[in-house]
Amino acid sequence: MNAYLIVAIACGLGAAMLALLAVRQQKASLGGKSLRSGSGIITAFLIYLYAILNRCRFSRYILHYIRKRLEFYTHFDERTVRRKTASVFLITVSAFVMLVLFFWLITRDPGMLLIFVLVLLLLGDTVMDIFVSHIHIRLLKQQLVYHELLRHKYYELKSVEDAQSEACEALNKRGLYEIYMQAERISDILSGADQETGLEHYYEVAPNKYLKLLAGMIYITREYGDTWKDGGSVFVRGISHLSGEIRAEIFKRERLRFALRSLNVISLLPIFFIKPLRQWAGNSFTPLDNFYNSRVGIVLGLGTIIAALAACMALRRIQRFDGPERLYGERKSLVNRLYDMGLYAVVDRLVPGNYTTKRAKLESLIKGSMSGINIRILYTRRILAGLAAFIIGLALFIGLNLNYAHRILHVPEIPRGYLGGRLSDAEYEKLQEITDMDRNILTRIRHKPDEALIREALAEEGIQDQAAQDLAVQRILDKCHRLGNCKFKWYELLLCLLFFVLGYQIPVLNLRFLKAVRRIDMEEEVAQFHTIILMLKDMNRIHVEEILEWMEMFSVQFKDPIQKCLANFSSGSEEALEQLKEDVAFPPLDGIIENLQLANEELGVQKAFEELEDEMRYNQEKRKELNEHIVESRKNLGNIVGFLPVYALIILYLIVPMVVTGMQSISAFYEQLSGF
């Protein structure tokens, strides 16, 4: 048996055993006897493995990335965080190793293996997104159970603190691990010495905005007491409104997940159809094989691969409902480190000056996309993207020239005007002999187009016939001329500079795409603001600044302008609200800001927003339509992006080659006819 095969099987079995161990630990953690109990030896092994992997730079980066994606565990139970992170790491790496080995054993093609590794990296990130999304949805569903328990216990005990404690114990008994950890944290805040500091800390680390709202409502009700209106508790009514928001969120996420299912795989499938399609077409029609191996054919193939990878990355962003990711730890990103290492000397010269129109537009674009970067990092990314595109273009043209020279010297060329399908074995062997002879002669004359030297070399090869020599001389001179053109040309340098310009614009285009996707969710967040105000307006001692604080805590799309408004509120509330209205420039939010201005002047919060309750049923219907619109918009955009690589494969790699080779064959056919 082949030694490589033995090593591959051994590695695959080892990876499978580690993956099975991690999967068993995952199941044990979800269905254990007690939520605080570990799983003995397996848990100890995973925690020890985490410590070992954390010492290596490369594995530490992967571990921290996984921790960042599982951030709802962070700051609550470090033991669980490490166990879960090590478990996901084992499953991911084991699956990666097994798939790479399996693909290599099947194809034995280094180029396809490299592409497969890139695809696996993208798919691994996508699988991680799906895994985290499932956990977030499970957390939201468990939070609905938490709300029901809290509501029943509050009616029974008439005390928010006691109801919270009883609900926490009930969640523990039911085995709802994720929400139990959050409920326990809220209970610790209520029983702590410094409750306000604990609550502010929880706002920073809570896994979703709904738990932030719930924690704030429980704290306010405990501090200032509940309010009764129309025979009902304002606290319980707020929980009901919050449950409605969670149900709408679950509906939206699950509908979109169903609508865009399998699109990530579909967008990447054309990559694996390139080689089979090329082999099938080349074996059926020899001119097509020549086209696929030409410069244009290689560029079209690379274009199809790039389209597939870009579509997969765009789909990941479309499927995401969360805001910008928070980085784990304090380690700077690679772009920040490169800026500090010396790129600042170039970047600071390129960044537009203060108070210029261009700088204002770019800063507005950065805020609108919620990318979490500043303008200097944007320009650092632009320079790096431009340099990467320039280097890729340089490598592409050099590689195309080398490939073209290799094909001239080593690959048989079909006769001009050949109209057949597939060459027979005898014909191919004859062409190969001619190619070998031409290569020997070209090597002997060292690519110098001297007809006398060529005829002398042909005579040594045994070709004495004058007509045969004339044909061979013409063929070899043509090859010599084409070999002379296999050099890096001035217009290829211009194209590399064009690639630099295009790469330089990619970060800005990416921000524009993120901003376009973000606008789909802006109306829905305004509807959520209505729900927040309905929950808060009847609570004791509520005022405009506190409503703004709750809106800022809940907001994803309008967080920056609301933060700016809060920072300026103490200097002048009316001016701050007016500035907020100018900053957001979004008509659906203008009505809320105008009511906040009225409440800030004389009416008070309850009177300023009293029409919200009258319009609640209408708003519910409108909200339902809005959710349908959001899902439909993302679904349509996702379908366009997801099937774009399929269209690229069909058009660029099937239709265009057939049309071009067909036109060339027709042209050769007419030349043959005109020769008679």
Give the model confidence (pLDDT) of 579-637 as tens digits: 888 887 777 788 888 888 888 776 666 677 767 666 666 666 777 777 787 788 888 88
Q: Partners of 233 in the beta sheet?
A: 228
Per-residue pLDDT, 32:
43
Q: Strands 232-233 and 228-229: what pairing? A: antiparallel
The domain limits of the chain are 1-108
Task: Provide the pLDDT for residue 327.
Answer: 43
666 has a pLDDT exceeding 60:
yes
Identify whether the C-beta of residue 645 lies closer than 8 Å to the C-beta of residue 268. Answer: yes
**Which of the four pLDDT bands, split at 50, 70 and 90, describes residue 4?**
very low
Task: Confirm if 167 and 159 have CB atoms less than 8 A apart.
Answer: no
> pLDDT at position 38, please?
44
pLDDT at position 505 over 90: yes
CA separation for the pair 566, 655 (Å, rounded)? 58
Q: Report the b/e string of 177-196 with b at 16+ CB within 10 A.
A: bbbbbbbbbbbebbeeeeee
Residue 329 confidence (pLDDT): 42
pLDDT confidence of residue 76: 54
- Under a CB-based contact definition with an 8 Å cutoff, are residues 82 and 76 in contact? no
Q: Please name which of 500, 558, 232, 272 lies closest in space to residue 384, comparing C-alpha atoms.
A: 500
Q: Is the pLDDT of residue 567 over 80?
A: yes
The alpha carbon of 81 is separated from its chain's Cα centroid by a whole number of angstroms, namely 24
Question: Does position 555 have pLDDT exceeding 70, yes or no?
Answer: yes
> Is the pLDDT score of 560 beyond 50?
yes
What confidence tier does 506 reach under pLDDT thresholds 50, 70, 90? very high
C-alpha–C-alpha distance, residues 144 and 247, integer Å: 8
- Determine if the pTM surpasses 0.75: no
Dist CA 71 CA 372 (whole Å): 18
Quick: pLDDT tens for 409-428: 888 877 665 655 566 778 77
Vertex 550 angle, CA 202 and 135, to 5°: 50
Can you tell me the distance from the alpha carbon of 318 to that of 634, in angstroms, rounded to the nearest whole number?
A: 7
Look at residue 323 in the predicted model and tell me its pLDDT. 53
What is the Cα–Cα distance from 363 to 355, expressed in whole angstroms? 11
- Residues 176-187: tens digit of each pLDDT: 888 888 888 888
- Nearest-CA neighbor of 246 among 168, 173, 148? 148
Q: Indicate the average pLDDT of the chain.
A: 79
d(CA 292, CA 279): 9
CA-atom Rg of the chain in angstroms: 33
Q: Which of 38-47, 381-390, 551-560 has the highest mean pLDDT?
A: 381-390
Most confident of the following: 277-291, 382-396, 560-574, 652-666? 382-396
Other Cβ atoms within 10 Å of 396 Cβ, number: 18
The one-letter code for the residue type at 50 is Y
Evaluate whether 483 touches 442 at the Cβ level (below 8 Å).
yes
